[in-house]
Every structure is written in structure tokens, then in C-alpha cells.
Amino acid sequence: MEQTKKTYSFTAIVGQEDMKTALVLNVINPNLGGVLIRGEKGTAKSTAVRALAELLPERKQVAGCRFSCDPDDEAALCSECQELLDNGQELETIKAPMRVIELPVSATEDRVVGTLDLEYAIKTGEKKFETGILAMANRNILYVDEVNLLDDHVVDVLLDSAAMGVNTVEREGVSYMHPARFILVGTMNPEEGDLRPQLIDRFGLSVTVVGEHEVEKRISVVQNRLKYEDEPEVFFAEYEPLQEDLRVRIKTAEDLLSQVSYSQEILERIARICIALNVDGHRADIVMLKTARTLAAYHGRIEVTVDDVMEAARLALPHRMRRRPFEDVELDITAIADI
């Protein structure tokens, strides 16, 4: 039977709970800064990323916009959409799904950020911008497989755009800026080389994935995959209730996030944990608090608990702890439980 072209169901992925949680949290709160997924091949890394996009509902965007602008977020409109509004025109909207934009390892900086036609600018006095991958990635998932094999400068550009939410291209005194708000997902096999610590630290969350070592789970992996290939209608019907439950949970958490509060004691605990684990800088504290708030919303609460902080620590701190090159660092939650 010909294999279905529909993406594998996110909720059918067996195990890998940390990876699935980290991906969902970045959908609920794109300000977390993305996730770095480290692990051996064949552990559903790319499957999970594509399945996540398939899980999410369609959203509004401006028809014909090169940057898929959100018509309801005027502050984040591109210059072209803003010009239409300034001229008194209404923005025509369409519904479209979130996409996974893949960045190839061989991508050059121009391919990533886009290019300015300087000759056109000199002749006409107008800017002509050819979009790059960051333009396509706006409001989508930017997926970088083997991110550790990318040129460091390209990784720097990606992370800067992810942090700022904009992409700025400058050539010979001519500049162009456009929105570049995306969920950054990088995957890598540490055996093939590592990222510089300064770059690893820029990813909001990090998880390590390994193959399942329980017989029953490995059997489930095989059975689910074969059902997906041989009986797609049965497969998707079986998991659709779980898919819909997760969609509702994500939407509820998105609506709840702005209401989530935290106490001074929570802030103090986060600071003590980061000091005790000797992490560099203050990014860890900030990401931990953002993650804890997002976890609270995901669990349907409006106040951060100690449990949220401990779970946030598992996702936000291991890649920021000092280590030797190629050394895997695991966070022992019990060691910081009483901090």
C-alpha cells in the first residue's frame, strides 16, 4: 500500500516526554528561545518537529504577504503591510497552517538573511529585498537539523534573529528590516561535533533523547509505525482524540499565560539553584522563570509552584552547566531539591 503523505501524529510518538514537552512549551510561549534536541539518530527528532506543526490549528495571516504577517498584531507587521494600512487599505486575510521551514547545513548567510539589490536601490532610490529563509520562517517553526555542523556565523545570525524577533540586512549603507519571529528547533548528534558553549547557551531549552530500552515501548514504536504506513485511516482515527485534547490544552495555556504570577520565594529559589549549579550569566535565571510560568499555564494554573521550577530546571539548565568538550552533563534534581 502506498504510504500516506500526512504527517505522523504527535501524540503517537512513544516516550521522549522531555522533547515533546519542550516543543509544546515553545509553541505556548515562543519567547522561550527555542529548543536544542541532542541525541542519537533514529529517536524521532525530526518526526516530532513535523508532527508538532501538523498538530496546530490554522491561523490568520495577511494574504500575499511574504512574511505571513498576523493582521491582528499591528506592532509586528512588515513594512509592506504597514504601508497598506497607512494608505487606508484593509489587509486581506486568509487561514493557513503553521509550517516547518528547514535550513540546510550548506546554507550561506545570504540564503538565510536575504539580499538587497544595491544596483536597483541606486538607480531608483527604492529598496528591493529578496527574501531568505528567515523571511519564510516568520510565525513558523525554523528547523535546523545537524545545527552543530552549520557555520558558527550563520548560527549567530539565527540566534540573534530568534532573540530580537527581527532580521536586519545591511549592505553598503542600505538596510532593510522585517519581522522574524519563529520557533527555533535545532537537532544534533553530539558524536558528530559540538556547538560552542556560547551558542548552546543561546537556546532557551535543551533536551537529550535516546532510544527506548523497555521492551514494551520498543514494541509500541514498531507497531505504531507499521500501522501509520499500512493502515493510515485506522492510525489517525485512533490518535485524533488525543490530538484534539492536546490542541485544546495548548490553546488554553496560551490564553492563560499572561495571567500566571510568581512569588518572591520562587525568584529566590531560581537564583539559588543557578548559583549552586555555577551557571554563567543571568540568561539561565530568566529562561527558568519563563519556562516555569509556561509550565504552570500548561498545567492549567495561574501561579508558579516549586514543582514548575524543578521541571524548568531540567529543561533550561543542563546545557548551561559547565562541562568539558563532548561531555554530557545530567542534572540531578534531587541534589537541588532542598536549595
**Catalytic residue IDs:** 283
In the structure grid, which three cell numbers stand for residue 220, read together?
509500541
In the structure grid, which three cell numbers stand for residue 305, read together?
509552584
Alpha-carbon span 271 to 325, nearest angstrom: 26
Q: Cell 550561506 appears where?
A: 108
Alpha-carbon span 267 to 52, nearest angstrom: 31
DSSP secondary structure letter of residue 2: P
The DSSP code sequence of 208-227 is EE----SHHHHHHHHHHHHH
Q: Cell 506592532 appears where?
A: 75
Q: Cell 541532542 appears where?
A: 38
Contact 15, 212 (CB under 8 A): yes
Q: What is the dihedral of CA 52, 307, 216, 209, to 10 degrees?
A: 50
In the structure grid, which three cell numbers stand for residue 293, read together?
510560568
Residue 160 neighbours by CB under 8 Å, 6+ apart: none
Alpha-carbon span 81 to 91, nearest angstrom: 7
- ∠282-183-33 over CA atoms, to 5°? 0
Question: 309: closest CA among 336, 327, 282?
Answer: 336
The DSSP code sequence of 80-105 is HHHHHHHTTPPPPEEEE---EEE--T
Contact 103, 113 (CB under 8 A): no
Quote the strand ranges of the chain, DSSP E: 35-39, 59-62, 93-96, 100-102, 115-116, 129-130, 141-145, 166-171, 174-179, 183-188, 205-209
